[in-house]
Structure 1
Amino acid sequence: MQLRRIIKLLENTYSGATWYGSNLCDVLTAISSSNPNASYNGGNSLGQILEHMIQWKKFVIEKINGNTNFIIEINSIQDWNRRKIYTTEEFIALIHEFKSVSEKLIEILKGENDELLNKEVPGKKYDFKTLLDGIVHHDIYHVGQLSLLKRG
């Protein structure tokens, strides 16, 4: 039952009804024609944020699949590709990749049950409930950033 709640949160954050503002699909549609290198005060660009989000979705998928070797060091290039300048084509590809990896994660989770939540994440000292709650929060945090950068 808890896993179904997390799946619903991921689905809503991705493409459903949210109480805090636009879902990710709506924001991605809105930013698709934006400058992928737009940032605020030299912070992370639209493209960098999106690539970062993709990496962490991949992290969750790899860990569910039992991959102990898939590691993202915080503030590494795998976490934040801060020097990357994106072309429009690369940005559109990132949007498609984000949608694909988000849908893949949701589908994988639909094949699991609540027992997953209590299992330790391979190579980590926390469980999947912590990781999955975290990826929901991560999406909500970054959808706000993407929305603000679109406005700027």
Structure 2
Amino acid sequence: ELVLHLTTWERVIAHRMKGQALMPSDEENFPQVSVATDAAWREALQKLRTTHADLVQRVSSMNEAQLYEPVPGKDYDLNFMLTGAVQHAAYHGGQIALLKKIKQ
């Protein structure tokens, strides 16, 4: 669920960077895992990798002035949103690491 949640938010951020005021539904925000198989897990990881690579490419191609453009539908700029995205990924990455450690 955390990997799916991170994928959703990286997709939302990419859309917002393109000027789209996107807000995920509750179901999109924390998608339910319908099938917990190795194949479904690999697919979820691949979607996160692809979404993350797209986001990294978008951020890498920005100039400094673009960081201070407003986020559509929000009262903050891209710099604030991207800083929050890094914190969000680190937070959930820590949760995933703890869950992995508990499982071992």
TM-score, with structure 2 as normaliser: 0.89
Question: Hey, what does 2:33 align to over in structure 1?
Answer: 84
Structure 1, unaligned runs of 5 or more? 1-47
Question: Hey, what does 1:60 align to over in structure 2?
Answer: 13
Deviation at 1:124, TM superposition (A): 1.3
Deviation at 1:84, TM superposition (A): 2.5
Match of 1:127 among 69, 77, 94: 77
Deviation at 1:125, TM superposition (A): 1.5
Match of 1:144 among 87, 94, 100: 94
Read off the aligned partner of 1:122 and give its amino acid letter: P
Equivalent residue of 1:77, what SS?
A: helix
Distance (whole Å) between structure 2 residues aligned to residue 129 and residue 121 of structure 1: 9
Deviation at 1:99, TM superposition (A): 0.8
- Percent identity between matched residues is 24
Aligned positions, number:
101
Distance (whole Å) between structure 1 residues aligned to residue 96 and residue 16 of structure 2: 26
Distance (whole Å) between structure 1 residues aligned to residue 15 and residue 58 of structure 2: 11
Question: Hey, what does 2:43 align to over in structure 1?
Answer: 93
Higher share of residues assigned helix: 2
After superposing on structure 2, the runs of 4+ consecutive aligned residues of structure 1 that deviate more than 4 Å are none
